[in-house]
Structure 1
Amino acid sequence: MRYGYKASAEQFSPAELLELVQLAEQVGLESAFISDHLQPWRHDGGHAPNAVAWLGMALERTERIVLGTSVLTPTLRYHPAVVAQQFATLGQVHPGRLILGVGTGESLNEQAIGVDFPELKERFARLRESVRLMRRLWTEERVDFEGDYYATSGATIYDRPDAPIPIYVAGGGPATTRYAARFADGHICTSGKGDEYYRDTIVANLEEGLEKEGRDTADVDRMIEIKVSYDRDPDAALHNTRFWAALSLTQEQKHSVHDPLEMQRLADELPIEQVAKRWIVGSDAADVAARIAHYAELGFTHLVFHGPGDDQRRFLEHFSEDVLPLLPR
């Protein structure tokens, strides 16, 4: 079992995040993941640092913690060959400490700079093709690639990592989950959607994909971002979730909005009780630990904790003192 920290790029400045990832390492967490947004979920108080630039700084300021993206979209704003080059550079300097988490993207990040945001079918096809191209660039001398969306001619990454960077695929549907099980090093999903969903959609399709490809269950890291608002003050634990109200909007609402101001307006209309439903909220360490451990019982092997409050130092220190020792190892 591995435990990690979600470095919330939408909520904190790059400098704040650097201090927080250092603290995450100090309190014993083994990984940290930063999201990659051009625009955050809300305008007021929002942030959107570049994930790859930040990873380079964070790797230099830490010693052992594994760092990654959750998630980056190597298909629209970025050409996959450029992403492959960026991660090759980081991976050569810091071998064994990187994970490239990828996903199909959000309109919030693409339309502001005039990039057309296609339907999911095309976005998923682009993602699969980009993964194939990046892996070839990490392992082959000169790459001639002719895909449906991307092409290279005699492309070479001259400073390749000693081993390909692990790729984790984020997705909540059957197709992306089976794809991750067949071709990725890990799968990423998020908490708060009910046991039936995790058993029937995530776990069942992971097992199906593994069997189809003839892979062992240990070949794919089962990562889940757990939304946990733990505070020794129960009222603070509840109200800390407010910044992340956008997560309680429907997928249809989120995918059709590309303006942080509009996303913020929609999110602020939600009552705090609805906002908090997506989170494990509490001040009882044993109860919070038991609810977190349930995800391990469901079959997840890498739990990454996303605390919603503004005082992340308080969250990390209290969570590591009160809750972390109670979790299974």
Structure 2
Amino acid sequence: MALFGYTMMTEQAGPRDLVAHVVRAEEAGFDFSVTSDHYFPWLDEQGHAPYAWSVLGAAAQATSRIPLMTFVTCPTMRYHPAVVAQKAATMQLLAGGRFRLGLGSGENLNEHVVGGGWPAADVRQDMLAEAVEIIRALFGGGYVNHHGEHFDVESARLWDLPDTVPPIGVAVSGRQSCELAGRLADLMIAVEPDADLVAAFDESGGTGKPRMGQLPVSHDTDRDAAVRRAHEQFRWFGGGWKVNSELPDTTAFASAGAYVREEDVADSIPCGDDPEVFVEAVRPYVEAGFTEIALVQVGGASQLPFLDWAQKTLLPALREL
């Protein structure tokens, strides 16, 4: 049976609200939660971008059961991999073993803030692979020295290590990233229900490992309001990862979505309050071989009504899949 998760989307709510939302998600019965880790929202209308790791620490103390995860952290530019390893080890201790570290090659939108330009995709993948190796070495205990193509580590050690280190997930969007994830990760992360990604992950060593997907949804008893909200805040979504990872700021995302219509968004994001519409949107992930699907409710102010509905109506319907 697939597991169903809740997304703390840092682009659309402030830190205190995000923690309150995940507490309610735990009460509602979601199987896990994930948290975006961005410096910018995609669009000005979303309006938020708190520091995800502070939110996660607070969430670890405010909850007791629901697993927590970054979806995803880029450990190559804004953060050095040695620092990411320390963050993740600390989070695993705070969460009592409920934390997983989701990693990816990043987006220009968030990583440009530290300067240094935006590398080509192949370089970003090489950087990610080297970063994962550094993080794994530090998780292993003892001192780590590393002098690689992209990173240097001088006599680093994690002094507070959990008994069980966090599993590492890697985000994929094509064969190259699937090969990296199959070789280095404990689980695969994707944002589209593509069976070819699952197959490439399996062929590269991922057989038997979890595969996590993510799906935006827009619940509202007024379907027209749900569609309008989805268009206002998620019209960037249809550009695809390979385009979105290159755009530098909210103005670029607004320009890229300037000709996206409300009906275009409604075709890709389930809207309204008919649970069957939401189930049918999730079904392709299950049929493609995904074992976990994280839902993103669009709109910060709509989270609590969505979570009430999810507890009573949506989660029971999804579990019939």
TM-score (norm: length of structure 2)? 0.92
Structure 2 residue aligned with 1:95 = 96
Structure 1 residue aligned with 2:261 = 271
1:298 matches 2:288: yes
> What runs of 5+ residues in structure 1 fail to find an aligned partner?
none
Provide runs of 4+ in structure 1 moved above 3 Å.
Answer: 250-253
- Looking at structure 2, the residues matched to 86 and 253 of structure 1 have their Cα atoms a distance apart, in angstroms, of 29
For residues 275-294 of structure 1, what are the structure 2 equivalents within 5 Å? 275-294=265-284
- Secondary structure in structure 2 of the residue aligned to 1:117: coil
Q: Is the 1:135–1:164 contact (alpha carbons within 8 Å) kept by the matching residues of 2?
A: no
C-alpha change, 1:317 and 1:178, in structure 2 (3 Å) is same
C-alpha change, 1:64 and 1:250, in structure 2 (3 Å) is closer
1:132 matches 2:121: no
Superposition deviation, residue 253 in structure 1: 4.7
- Secondary structure in structure 2 of the residue aligned to 1:225: strand
The aligned amino acid for 1:257 is L
The aligned amino acid for 1:108 is L
Q: Is the 2:236–2:257 contact (alpha carbons within 8 Å) kept by the matching residues of 1?
A: yes
1:206 to 191, 201, 215: 201
Superposition deviation, residue 252 in structure 1: 5.8
- Looking at structure 1, the residues matched to 46 and 183 of structure 2 have their Cα atoms a distance apart, in angstroms, of 40
- Looking at structure 2, the residues matched to 221 and 233 of structure 1 have their Cα atoms a distance apart, in angstroms, of 35
For residues 171-250 of structure 1, what are the structure 2 equivalents within 5 Å? 171-191=172-192, 198-199=194-195, 201-210=196-205, 217-218=207-208, 220-242=209-231, 243-250=233-240
1:163 matches 2:164: yes
Superposition deviation, residue 132 in structure 1: 0.5
Q: For each residue in 1:162-218, what CA deviation from the matched residue of structure 2 results, as whole angstroms up to 9, or x when unmatched?
A: 122111001111111222122211111113x6xxxx12x2122022112xxxx6x33
C-alpha change, 1:314 and 1:115, in structure 2 (3 Å) is farther
C-alpha RMSD of the superposition: 1.9
Q: For each residue in 1:50-100, what CA deviation from the matched residue of structure 2 results, as whole angstroms up to 9, or x when unmatched?
A: 111111011011111111110110000111001111111222232321011
1:326 matches 2:321: no
The aligned amino acid for 2:225 is A
Q: Is the 1:10–1:41 contact (alpha carbons within 8 Å) kept by the matching residues of 2?
A: yes
Percent identity (aligned): 34
> What runs of 5+ residues in structure 2 fail to find an aligned partner?
none
Q: Is the 1:34–1:70 contact (alpha carbons within 8 Å) kept by the matching residues of 2?
A: yes
1:317 matches 2:312: no
C-alpha change, 1:12 and 1:186, in structure 2 (3 Å) is same
Q: For each residue in 1:111-144, what CA deviation from the matched residue of structure 2 results, as whole angstroms up to 9, or x when unmatched?
A: 2332321001110001000001011111131112
1:3 matches 2:4: yes
Q: For each residue in 1:249-284, what CA deviation from the matched residue of structure 2 results, as whole angstroms up to 9, or x when unmatched?
A: 355653443122332343344211222333133432
- Looking at structure 1, the residues matched to 93 and 7 of structure 2 have their Cα atoms a distance apart, in angstroms, of 24
Structure 2 residue aligned with 1:260 = 250
Q: Is the 1:231–1:318 contact (alpha carbons within 8 Å) kept by the matching residues of 2?
A: no
The aligned amino acid for 1:135 is R
Structure 2 residue aligned with 1:40 = 41
The aligned amino acid for 2:303 is Q
- Looking at structure 2, the residues matched to 313 and 322 of structure 1 have their Cα atoms a distance apart, in angstroms, of 14
For residues 6-25 of structure 1, what are the structure 2 equivalents within 5 Å? 6-25=7-26
The aligned amino acid for 2:310 is F
